[in-house]
Chains A and B, each alone.
Chain A
Amino acid sequence: MAAVRTDSERTEKGWEPKLIAFVCNWCTYAGADAAGTRRMLYSPCVRIIRFPCTGRIDPHFIVRAFEQGADGVLVSGCHPGDCHYVSGNLLARRRFAIFKALMDFLGLEPERLSFSWVSATEAGKWVEVVNSRVEALRKLGPARVPWGTLSGPPPSLNGRSVAPMPQEPLSQVKPDDYQAVESQLRQLAEGLLATGQVKAVLGYGKGSLQQATPIVITNATEANQLIFNEHCVQNLTVYLTSPSFRSLRPLGVVVKACDSKSLVGLLQEDQVKREDFRAIAVSCPGVKVNGRWADKCLSCDQRIGPIADHIVGSSEPKSTAGADPRDWEIQTIEKWAPAERWNFWMNQFSRCIRCYACRAVCPLCYCQPCIADKNRPQWIPTSPHLKGNVSWNLFRALHLAGRCIGCDECTRVCPVGIRLDLINRRLSLEVAKRFGYEPGKDPSVPPPLATYRPNDPGEFIL
């Protein structure tokens, strides 16, 4: 790529680390200023960019800095409680905890990305932080970013053959489990349409090639076209925000337990009105992708999700829930060295062809327009080269952090097999661990990255 300095240029003799510091105006900038007026010496390798508040510093700025050739990034602002805008730094703390977890998981060397609280009086701390960061970068050498060429084959998950993840939990599932639900579903849909409680029912029907495909029924007599079986994998709630479905409100939408969680997200974020849809919750024993039980189903312990206006079939919790194979794969990846992880993920992202199917099937990717489609500024290069692909996949992962309910539709449809499910799941686990939050439960609480607690863990902050 012509637009970017080549790696060889960057490793030429005389290389000095390039540390970009995003600092808040009120504390750290003043602290750095104090260091200057006191004539304190510190590394000239730092480039300071001033923001009104750390709350204004979007992780995308950091991605962009690395993209443009930074060797390390430091974000620094006011200590908790000192924010000029009361809580900007507390919101930032949550966001950066997640961003750091993401970059660690992908294999960016941890020393390249640091956070610190430096007040206006802490000139000494500023000097210390900058010097220690620059020294750490000097030891590491030039960044592998901007996402340069990687040597050697990437490690392979190969998980499928060695995963100690038996498929037994669901071996008890019988076709009858679906058939009973299917016939009740047809009756219910017929009734809802006949009585005008819904204008249309969005459910599954038999596809000409695929075994189940989304269909829209507007007439009670068509209700027998609805099916429910182990192939009904799509998350139909994605259509609730589609303009083409506006005229069908109130819409009856068939949801499985997992899909129902995305309704929570949509309500939480004011994307659908409660009166515009009726959730027809089908009791789901599990669904299959390419002939295998979907990963998400193996650990699922619910038949019916949180939003259910009509329940079809049993709402007993499932006794079959086992461990989640995605977690096993995440653990496998986390055992690798950062360089191996980076290699693995860069190889994954390099395959992306930017069909945006991940975005299209995601019920929570509803933005119009999506940030990837905005060109002033062009946050995400549209080209399907590694730089653009990394940008796109990082942005999407960040936007879904704390929101993704793990339906894994993005991974199911990805034509090049990128394991987005693992990234999303990893961030979900981080959100659960740090903030005790689980997406898709309660529509009345704010999303975790739009709020804070004064005592959120900040152990990663210098």
Chain B
Amino acid sequence: MKIWTLQKKRVGDWMAALRAAGKEVLAPCEADGLLRFRPIDDPSAIAVRPGPCPFPFKEWLFPPHQVLFSYQFEGGKVNLREEEVLVNDQVGLFLRPCDAAAIKILDTVFLSDPPDGFYQLRRSHLTIVTLGCRQAVPSCFCPAVGLSPTSLEGSDLFLWEEDDRFLVYGVSEKGDRLVQVSPDLFEPGEGPEPDQLPSPLPFMERKEPLTNVGQKLQGLFESDLWQEVGRTCLGCGICAYLCPTCHCFDIVDESDAYSGIRCRNWDCCAFPLFTLHASGHNPRPDQPSRYRQRVLHKFAYFLQTFQQNMCVGCGRCSLFCPVGMDIYQIVLQLTGRCLV
């Protein structure tokens, strides 16, 4: 792995060089009290806080609203028009290791056969620059899902803050090419292997493994425990929409007398409509059964299909849940390891 150093004060120059090379830089910044990844020019607008950015990077690969195609009605005929997707090369800057790992999970869904064209195009234009975590926040539980504040999963470049500079680890060729855009800003450097960096890992409290609970959870499918843990779920979509790995969507038409679109929008398994049949039958008739689906999909079913958990331990769902449902604690409770 190549290692460089980049002076913090030169990040702006690097961004300018990236822009000059036709790339759009997306970094967490604050607008009107809301932290989100946004295209930026000015490095002073970057707002990196400990822990992951509240709004995940997902929206740039899998937008909340995607027009799939449009159509016009013309005298008994329908003219379909394919949707053109314009994408610049994009650089996702200062993602956290959990967010980068989440993109690999989205990849397994959207790039597996048949690949999703919209995702594929955006993904192929994206380079991911991750910033290792020098500090964890109480909601973090990446060690529990086999990741860490310095894991390289999904990253193209990995940065580590050290005084007034970044150690820059070249993880992929795609990442190296970003360095090559302005090689004079990067000094060849030396550093420990990323897993030897002084990360907060030893001090993190939430690290009871959740990676091998699939069978146990599935065995509980009929259990009354779900009523107990899922009863207070209010059925909003915050957990799914702020989750960097949740990817369920709805497909709807919107039209007037002349034309229309078919689009796909984010959807969430906590909504009663999600599985409601036209006949009125609903396989998941209550909130606890919907919450069960969420937990099992993440820690059991996805594991069976794709050999990995669908959770990166970012803790957003638990932190932003209106009623404080903490998926880490709930899985531990279900698997009998700990009671609150």
Direct contact of A and B (CB under 8 A): yes
Chain A residues within 8 Å of B, Cβ to Cβ? 1-4, 68, 154, 156, 205-210, 212-216, 234, 238-239, 242-245, 347, 351, 353-357, 359-361, 369, 373, 381-385, 409, 412-413, 415-417
On whether A2 and B67 interact (CB within 8 A), knowing A209-B326, A381-B254, the answer reads yes
A361 x B234 contact (CB < 8 A): yes
Cα A88 to Cα B288 in complex, Å, equals 43
Select from chain B the residue with minimum beta-carbon distance to A69.
B256
Q: List 15 A-B contacts (CB under 8 A).
A: A2-B259, A3-B259, A68-B256, A154-B32, A156-B32, A243-B286, A354-B237, A355-B241, A356-B271, A357-B236, A381-B254, A384-B266, A385-B65, A413-B236, A415-B55
Select from chain B the residue with minimum beta-carbon distance to A416.
B34
Residues of A within 8 A of B237 (CB): 353-357
Q: How near does chain A come to B240, taking the closest CB pair, in angstroms?
A: 8
Select from chain B the residue with minimum beta-carbon distance to A357.
B236
Residues of A within 8 A of B32 (CB): 154, 156, 347, 417
Residues of A within 8 A of B287 (CB): 242-244
Would you call the interface of chain A mostly helix, strand, loop, or mixed? loop
Select from chain B the residue with minimum beta-carbon distance to A368.
B272
Residues of B within 8 A of A347 (CB): 32
Q: Give the tally of cross-chain contacts (CB within 8 A).
A: 137
Residues of A within 8 A of B326 (CB): 207-210
Select from chain B the residue with minimum beta-carbon distance to A384.
B64
On whether A216 and B234 interact (CB within 8 A), knowing A361-B322, A369-B273, A417-B34, the answer reads no
Is B235 interfacial (CB 8 A cutoff)? yes
| Contact pick for A4, options B33, B256, B268, CB 8 Å | B256
Q: How near does chain B come to A213, taking the closest CB pair, in angstroms?
A: 3
Is B47 interfacial (CB 8 A cutoff)? no
Cα A359 to Cα B340 in complex, Å, equals 28
Residues of B within 8 A of A412 (CB): 322
Would you call the interface of chain B mostly helix, strand, loop, or mixed? mixed
Residues of chain B from 283 to 338 with CB closer than 8 A to chain A in the complex: 286-288, 315, 318-326, 328-329
Is B139 interfacial (CB 8 A cutoff)? yes
Select from chain B the residue with minimum beta-carbon distance to A248.
B231
Is B78 interfacial (CB 8 A cutoff)? no
Residues of B within 8 A of A417 (CB): 32-34
Q: How near does chain A come to B53, taking the closest CB pair, in angstroms?
A: 12
Cα A356 to Cα B273 in complex, Å, equals 13
A351 x B322 contact (CB < 8 A): no
Residues of A within 8 A of B273 (CB): 369, 373
Select from chain B the residue with minimum beta-carbon distance to A373.
B273
Is B261 interfacial (CB 8 A cutoff)? yes
Q: How near does chain A come to B100, taking the closest CB pair, in angstroms?
A: 22
A373 x B256 contact (CB < 8 A): no
B232 x A210 contact (CB < 8 A): no
B65 x A208 contact (CB < 8 A): no
| Contact pick for B288, options A244, A385, A415, CB 8 Å | A244
Is B54 interfacial (CB 8 A cutoff)? yes
On whether A3 and B256 interact (CB within 8 A), knowing A210-B324, A213-B324, A244-B288, the answer reads yes
On whether A244 and B265 interact (CB within 8 A), knowing A357-B322, A416-B34, the answer reads no
B265 x A409 contact (CB < 8 A): no
Q: How near does chain B come to A226, taking the closest CB pair, in angstroms?
A: 13
Cα A137 to Cα B128 in complex, Å, equals 50
Residues of B within 8 A of A415 (CB): 54-55, 238, 241-242, 320
The listed residue with most A CB atoms (<10 A of its CB), out of B54, B227, B273, is B273
B323 x A209 contact (CB < 8 A): no
Is B252 interfacial (CB 8 A cutoff)? yes
Is B187 interfacial (CB 8 A cutoff)? no
Select from chain A the residue with minimum beta-carbon distance to B33.
A417
Cα A4 to Cα B255 in complex, Å, equals 8
Residues of A within 8 A of B172 (CB): none
Cα A412 to Cα B272 in complex, Å, equals 23
Cα A181 to Cα B323 in complex, Å, equals 22
Select from chain B the residue with minimum beta-carbon distance to A215.
B232
Is B13 interfacial (CB 8 A cutoff)? no
Known contacts A244-B286, A356-B236, A417-B32; 20 further A-B pairs (Cβ under 8 A): A2-B67, A2-B70, A3-B255, A3-B256, A156-B32, A208-B329, A209-B326, A209-B329, A210-B319, A213-B232, A213-B324, A347-B32, A353-B237, A354-B266, A373-B271, A382-B252, A383-B252, A413-B322, A415-B320, A417-B34
